[in-house]
Structures are given as C-alpha cells and as structure tokens.
Amino acid sequence: MLRKPQNPIFIDSNIFFYSIIRDRKYGNASAKIITHIYERKITATITSIILLEVANALRKYRVQSIEMKIKSIVSLPIKIFDVNTVTIREAIKLSEQYKISPYDATHAVICIRNGINTVISADKEFDKIKELERIDPLDFEHVFV
C-alpha cells in the first residue's frame, strides 16, 4: 500500500528529462510531478548535479534550447543542494557499498545528510539504498490521491 511521502522529496533527473522529451511511458507522470512542485503541493529538492545530468541527457537526444530548459528547472520552487569534494568522497564509498552509480550515490549522500528519505525516480538503483524509499513516477498519482 502506497502512502503520501514525507516532505521534502528528492526529485531525480529522469523526472525532468522524461517530462521534457514527453517520454511515452513516463512523460505524463513526470509532468504531473513537476506541476505538483510548481503548485507547491510537494517540497522538492535536487542536487546541482541533477542539472548537469538533465543537460547531458538532453544533449544526447539532440534537444534544442537546453539552457532555457535548465533555467526553467531552476525557476521552480525547489531547493538545490550544492555538491562538494567531501560529498563526492562519501558518495564513492556509498557507491561501492551498494554497487550503484557514483551520481546516484551523490544524491543519496545529500538526501541522507539532510533527512530526506523519499526519492521520486524511475531508476531502480535507488531501491538498493536502505535509507531511502523510491517512488516510481507511475505510482505518484496513487500516492497523492
């Protein structure tokens, strides 16, 4: 049984990416999540690395006006955590512990440090991190009934 996640919530890069490219599977659900952020129905957080991840994914898909799309993410009522070398070193340890990407581990370190226990992501790697609960974007509407 799904429940409404505790605020604040970490939003993974794939939510922004799928919304922008209008992904067949996740596009609509991701757009609804972003609408909830815009309407302040959820308190959203990201790391500064999320912006780079989105920009890189859009570049690979040859999407135009990437800078404008990143500015639109930054304009949302969203808390952006900066990443430093201490965080990166912790993330590398976590990455090795859970056998996940260093990027996801960086996000996890920031979440754990800041008491954020919910991540909205299509990436199942977050399921490996015992300190975090992942909500799939397709389940989001069921959580926020």
145 — pLDDT class (breaks 50, 70, 90) = low
**Tens of pLDDT along 26-59?**
999 999 999 999 999 999 999 999 999 999 999 9
Residue 3 lies in a domain: no
Residue 4 lies in a domain: no
Residue 37 lies in a domain: yes
In the chain, what are the helix, strand and coil shares in percent, each to the nearest 5?
Answer: 55, 10, 30
Instruction: Report how far residue 102's alpha carbon sits from residue 104's, in angstroms, rounded to the nearest whole number.
Output: 6
Residue 118 lies in a domain: yes
User: How far apart, in Å, are the Cα atoms of 111 and each of 8, 67, 145?
Assistant: 9, 26, 25
131 — pLDDT class (breaks 50, 70, 90) = very high
Number of domains in the chain: 1
The domain that holds 71 is classified in CATH as: 3.40.50.1010
Residue 101 in tokens = 């990407």
User: Which residues neighbour 141 within 8 Å (Cβ) at sequence distance 6 or greater?
Assistant: 29, 32
**Sheet of strand 118-120, all strands in order from the earlier edge strand to the far edge:** 78-81, 44-47, 9-11, 118-120, 133-135
Residue 2 lies in a domain: no
Mean pLDDT of 58-66: 96
Residue 40 lies in a domain: yes
Residue 1 predicted with pLDDT over 50: no
Range of the domain at 108: 9-140
Mean pLDDT of 7-22: 96
How big is the CA angle at 71 (ends 139 and 77), to the nearest 5 degrees? 55
The pTM of this model reads 0.94
- pLDDT given at position 141: 84
